[in-house]
Chain A
Amino acid sequence: GQNIDQPTEMTATEGAIVQINCTYQTSGFNGLFWYQQHAGEAPTFLSYNVLDGLEEKGRFSSFLSRSKGYSYLLLKELQMKDSASYLCAVPRSWGKLQFGAGTQVVVTP
């Protein structure tokens, strides 16, 4: 199969840094998306990586290594509002997204 794997849950304190890893099968790769989803709300777009390297967007950064089938989302200066599920997704044929199960990030005071 073409699994997308990410950790189930991560806990960190306010102000800290958390790195969420995502691994995927590389065949037919067309880039990788990260979405944030608060409970009961819509997944919201965070980033899209198609080339290797790190892309920074404020407190959030996303990294991609195509040869290794690996990405991570880095959350810096954690705030309580960052408590959410973070979804890694790979576009497959015709653009349909294949999602990982999501990583629940819990930020504690």
Chain B
Amino acid sequence: EAGVTQFPSHSVIEKGQTVTLRCDPISGHDNLYWYRRVMGKEIKFLLHFVKESKQDESGMPNNRFLAERTGGTYSTLKVQPAELEDSGVYFCASSQGNGETQYFGPGTRLLVL
């Protein structure tokens, strides 16, 4: 069974540009989570989808971040316009049920210059 995949693995962009990250969860997992780790800090929650609905977006930093999960399968996270402080590693995780073990993807390393 394929694990959680993320694309791209790395992205280097300039301040003010737009970047879109993609996450493909494990097939059949209704719950999809986005997390972020900035340099020297712990992994922090961004938001949680159940199927195509946003269950909890309390961790989203500001309105420059937009997440979607059309059709309840893969998800995208768009940052527009990107700022220097958005640099970090963005992880996606999925689980079958709410509160069950989350399986993580390898992350997208975003560097904003």
Contacts and interface: CB of A to CB of B under 8 A. Distances in A.
B105 A42 contact: yes
Interface stretch (B11-19, B42-50, B71-79): B42-50
B56 A43 contact: no
A107 interface: no
Nearest to A96: B45
Interface of B: 3-4, 31, 33, 35, 41-45, 48, 55-56, 59, 91, 93, 95, 98-107
Given A42-B91, A102-B42, A95 B98 contact: yes
A26 interface: no
Contacts of A98: 45
Contacts of B59: 96
B43 to A, nearest CB: 4
Contacts, number: 58
Given A42-B91, A42-B107, A94-B56, A99 B43 contact: yes
B45 A48 contact: no
Given A42-B91, A99-B44, A101-B42, A93 B56 contact: yes
A1 to B, nearest CB: 12
Given A42-B4, A87-B43, A101-B42, A95 B31 contact: yes
A82 to B, nearest CB: 19
Contact of A96 (B3, B4, B56, B100): B56
B104 A44 contact: yes
Interface in A55-103: 87, 89, 91, 93-102
